[in-house]
Amino acid sequence: MLLVQRLPDIVLLVKPMFRSLLVLFVFLCHSALIGAEHYGAIEIGGKGVKAYVIDIDANLTKMTYRNGLNTSPQSGISEQYLMNSSMIKQVTSDIVVLKNALLNEQKVSEDHLFIIASSAINKIKNRLELETSIKNSTRLTLHFIDESEESRFAFYGSVPKDQWDKASMIDIGGGNTKVAWMDSNHTIDFFEVPLGTVSTTQNAHALDTNASFEQKCLRIINKELSSIKSFENKETLFASGGIFWATAYLKTNGHLESFVPLEKADFEHLIVLFSQEQRKECTEATAQCYLLGYYGAKNLVAGGLLAKETIEAMKFFNQKVYFVKDGAWVIGWLLTNTK
């Protein structure tokens, strides 16, 4: 805006023959500042179907809209990695709703709209059935990514560039957990924990014991974390995913900032709070009631335990942990696939 406001003064100082060139130059500079590409992305994750609007230009990436429907696609996937037909129908319906919102309300053009299935959904054996259903209803192609790609995209979509060499990233989804970092060769390394918020809840319910829900979750989580790597050489852990959003939302009473510091006590508070809420209904206008209605008590407890135990196994609670409000692997995917 400063360039445009000062344009008349500048033009008066130059010869008439250069005026048109200068006006064109300033116009192009101004266009570059305000001409960010407007993209829409719909993500199919283990916990739900989410929509984003992301503006991208040469120097800045900004998420301007996010919405979601908590259908829990992971709950419709069998032990044989087949998504049942009713869940395929529901996911497709959710995508149609969110596509219409992006096109009609957010004014995203259809050629700038993408549908991507997360690594948890990538594992299903009847992918073609899901692809066909979505294609027939939206005319759009469904893109799939694996654990390696999602970890890389999540790292670039969550970790500030000046922190790439000094930080790790953790992303807990509905079906799995990804941890990524930049190694000494400046490439992204990662590992996956095959547990997410929803899958931990499912596995705990499947255990035929008299133990409490919390004890069942811990048994499942600790078994998977027995060989986890530590990251003592990294200074900071940036966290994305629903359970970190919920923990930060509870801590700030709904007043989220771009980066919210999280401590072990924050997860412990969430776990204790929602362990007591599993049989209650909540109608008050509080952060606690909102989270209870949005996620459900057991998913919050399972996710909180998974986050706490994973970060503890990584020996990160003695360092800095931040929830990234606008962190999402879809940002990394768009940056990679649209330029």
Q: For 103-117, what is each residue's pLDDT tens digit?
A: 999 999 999 999 999
pLDDT band at residue 34 using 50, 70 and 90 as cut-offs: low
pLDDT per residue as tens digits for the range 154-193: 999 899 989 999 999 999 998 999 999 998 889 999 989 9
- Region of 81 on the Ramachandran plot (φ > 0 left; ψ -120 to 50 alpha; else beta): left
Buried residues in 94-105 as b, exposed as e (16+ CB within 10 A):
bbeebbebbeee
pLDDT at 12: 32
Assign 338 to helix, strand or coil. Answer: coil
pLDDT at 59: 61
Q: How far is CA 91 from CA 52, 72, 82, 243, in A?
A: 16, 9, 14, 21
Q: How far is CA 112 from CA 38, 40, 103, 264, in A?
A: 7, 6, 10, 40
Instruction: Tell which wins on pLDDT, 85 or 328.
Output: 85
Q: How far is CA 279 from CA 154, 202, 283, 289, in A?
A: 35, 18, 13, 13
pLDDT band at residue 299 using 50, 70 and 90 as cut-offs: very high
Question: What is the mean predicted confidence (pLDDT) over 135-147?
Answer: 96
pTM of this prediction? 0.79
pLDDT at 56: 86
* Cα first-last separation, the chain: 27
pLDDT band at residue 73 using 50, 70 and 90 as cut-offs: very high
Whether 136 has a pLDDT exceeding 70, the answer reads yes
Q: How far apart are CA 127 and CA 123, in angstroms?
A: 8
pLDDT per residue as tens digits for the range 206-216: 998 889 999 99
pLDDT band at residue 335 using 50, 70 and 90 as cut-offs: confident
pLDDT band at residue 62 using 50, 70 and 90 as cut-offs: confident
Angle, to 10 degrees, between the axis of helix 242-252 and the axis of helix 287-295? 160
pLDDT at 45: 92
Whether 26 has a pLDDT exceeding 60, the answer reads no
Can you list the domains of the chain with their CATH numbers? 2-31 (no CATH), 37-144 (3.30.420.40), 160-330 (3.30.420.150)
Describe the strand order of the beta sheet including 61-69 as a list of residue ranges: 61-69, 49-56, 37-44, 113-117, 142-144
pLDDT at 57: 79
Whether 1 has a pLDDT exceeding 50, the answer reads no
Whether 89 has a pLDDT exceeding 90, the answer reads yes
Assign 208 to helix, strand or coil. Answer: coil
Task: Retrieve residue 52's tokens.
Answer: 């984003």
pLDDT at 193: 93
Task: Retrieve residue 188's tokens.
Answer: 């992204």
pLDDT at 70: 86
